Amino acid sequence: MIVIDKLCYQSRLRYENPGEKFAFAVITLCISVMSRSIAVACIVLTVTGILTVWKGGIPVFRYLKFLTIPLAFLLLSTLAVVLNVKKAPLDLFAIPLGSWYLTASHEALLYAVQLILTALSAVSCLYFLAFSTPMPDILEVLRKLHCPKLLIELMLLIYRFIFVLMHTASSISIAQECRLGNKDYKTALNSFGSLGAVLMIRAMSRSNRLYDAMEARCYDGSIRVLSESRPPRKEIVCAIAVFDTCLFLFALWRRFYS
């Protein structure tokens, strides 16, 4: 089982209404991305972190570890925004390279920080949803929002096949390890290629068997999944509305009056 799914089913927010969590995550994410404000991003990071760790019970170090994954990518990708090669040095620093300079400006650094924090705040909203809401509940919310049935069924099948392929790949990898399939670099490359080829064949075979099983159970073009009924609570809906309204007004104030 994927670590995120394990943490999701262990979360104390697991049995809260999924529509409330979905609305909070999506609306907050949209406000954060549209505002492009460092202050708004910091507020979103703080609130979603507190909800995920304190209310949800997710271990803080594990949550921070998940945040470092996109952070490492963002730090590397924003280097292109900060660093410039110019004939004239900029105000932050300048390293001479012959007649040119490897240089950066305070404005570019501020823009890079803004991009990183905005992206991290958006990721934290998605982490809040992923760490508190199982995939079947998310698909049920999408169904109630009248998303295309085909899209929902594809998402469900892809989600199911992630676990099937992970289990199959793990079994093949263990078998290769037992036969010294990774004893050196060349052998490891050959083993990896064989794993990919066998995994594709087995995935096709599993998909055909899955479709046959669905047909044997009177599959009529729609997959029905049992969902638990958890009515929304007025106090939580009001809290989400107040928070997102205040965040939106604060983002507008930061954009036009500061």
Residue 87 structure tokens: 């004939």
Q: How much is the pTM? A: 0.82
pLDDT above 70 as % of the chain: 97
- The per-residue pLDDT for 160 is 78
Nearest partner of 61 among 49, 44, 72, judged by Cα: 49
What's the DSSP call for residue 88?
S
- The per-residue pLDDT for 221 is 67
CB 28 within 8 A of CB 48: yes
Q: What's the chain's Rg over C-alpha atoms?
A: 24
Q: What is the pLDDT along the chain (258 residues), one digit of tens a residue?
A: 577 788 888 888 888 888 899 999 999 999 999 988 889 999 999 999 999 999 888 888 889 888 888 888 888 888 877 877 777 777 777 777 777 777 777 888 888 888 889 999 999 999 999 998 888 888 888 888 888 888 888 888 888 777 778 778 888 888 878 877 777 777 878 887 887 788 888 877 877 887 788 778 777 767 676 667 778 888 999 999 999 999 999 988 887 776
Please give the Cα distance from 44 to 117 (Å, whole number): 10
Q: What 3-state DSSP class applies to 96?
A: strand
For tokens 């295309």, name the residue: 148
C-alpha atoms less than 13 angstroms from C-alpha of 136 in its C-beta half-sphere: 11
